[in-house]
Amino acid sequence: MSSHGNVLKLSDLVKPDAALQAAMDLYGVDATTAVAHCALTARYDGREADYRFWCEVFRQLKENNEH
């Protein structure tokens, strides 16, 4: 468990760069859409830390797609 109120966060388990690679491996050209969906789901579920995590993964994906 996390030290933040005993709430386990995704960022406690995986780093954004690993999530980025997994999304690209699993979803290919649809990775950006899949990650955006994860971010929105976390946001609407009230999981703010997970939302920020997925936003970082999304930012990295967009950055990779621009190069």
Domain boundaries, the chain: 14-66
| 10-64 tens-digit pLDDT | 888 999 999 999 999 999 999 999 999 999 999 999 999 999 999 999 999 988 8
- Rounded to 5 degrees, φ, ψ at 5 are 70, 25
How far apart CA 52 and CA 48 sit, in angstroms, is 6
How far apart CA 62 and CA 42 sit, in angstroms, is 19
Query: Which pLDDT value is given to residue 58?
Result: 96
pTM: 0.83
In degrees, to the nearest 5, what angle opens at C-alpha 26 toward C-alphas 13 and 47? 40
Query: Which pLDDT value is given to residue 5?
Result: 64
Query: Which pLDDT value is given to residue 2?
Result: 45
